Amino acid sequence: WHSASVARQEAEDYGRAAVEQRERAEQEVQKNQMGLYAASIRQAERELASGASRNAALNQLNDWKNATGIDGTPSSPAMRDWEWYYLKSKADSAALDPRIETLKLGSRVNYAGRWSPDGKLLAVTGLGKQVLIIDAETREILQVFNRKGLEFSPRIAWGPDSKTIAIDNWFGTVEIYDLQTGLLTQIFNHNAGNTNSTLSWNHKFNLIAYCLDQGKIGIYDMAQRKLVKVLPTSSEVQAIEWSPDGDQLAFSAMPGGLHVVDYPSMRVSYKLAARVVQRLRWTPSGEQLICQDARPSQLFVVTPETNEHTPAVESGVGGIWGMAMHPHEPWVALSGPRGEIG
């Protein structure tokens, strides 16, 4: 009888210990969950307070959208309280932020950016001498090298093979760099002045369009290593961009508006004189143009085939310093004075 009593007592003690251990584990899980929830609330509050990204705040809040009680049972204290509903209402009522992601690099290197032809890399440069090559998927900086020119550079373009880039400096030169070595391989001069986005590389014909001076566009044949065409314009050129298929060249002049010319005939096939275009990029399909409006923080879309253009909308990055259209997806990367790429 004594042995049975001892065994029963030991079993009860073991059961109580197991229950206590399970309760401690559950309390630890609940504590961790509440810690994660609190961290998400703090981050969402910071995002909304700074105005950096409404979407980032919503992402933090939506992680807890389906949370019930602390331990998952209806009778337990609620995971979400007034703070979640308050911030969610604030985020929902905020002006729509078109950015899907923000990459912070600092304002000295994010003035000019371009996706590589295969969409796997992003090259950026700007006020400083550094050129950064960034992995488009991981956002890791893969390569950094210094360009030769000391001038501010708002213009950059990739070569057809994704192994070379062209950089156009204010008041001076177009420089061609080998990305494997970071070495300068070719230079050609111009007198274009301080235009914003006047450099584009035609991958079909291996041609670079750039501003010769403030009223002429030059077309340079990379295979022949010489200037092959000059397109006079009515006024100062603001932006130049080859279409994805290489058969059209879009440019904007001020005054004069937006023009699209067919290549190689150089016949004007579309003109929109009524609106100011400071920068422009073709969409991957080649059917539309994303344009920076007279107000530097706004964008609008032009469809040349139907002669339609949309009202301007806010970009979400403030004044636009640089635009990079993805070659395959409907994404445009925008940079501005906040030191961010959105």
Instruction: Determine the length of the chain.
Output: 342
Least confident of 15-24, 286-295, 328-337: 15-24
pTM above the 0.85 mark? Answer: no
Sort 50 into a burial class: Cβ within 10 Å, 0-12 / 13-18 / 19+. exposed
The band of 101, judged by pLDDT with boundaries at 50, 70 and 90, is very low
Number of neighbouring beta carbons within 10 Å of residue 251: 25
* Most confidently modeled range among 108-117, 200-209, 309-318: 200-209
Q: Which residue has the tokens 């990055």?
A: 317
Number of neighbouring beta carbons within 10 Å of residue 193: 14
Alpha-carbon gap, residue 176 to 188, rounded angstroms: 9
The band of 125, judged by pLDDT with boundaries at 50, 70 and 90, is confident
Alpha-carbon gap, residue 287 to 304, rounded angstroms: 7
Instruction: Give start and end residues of each alpha helix (H) in the chain.
Output: 2-50, 54-62, 82-93
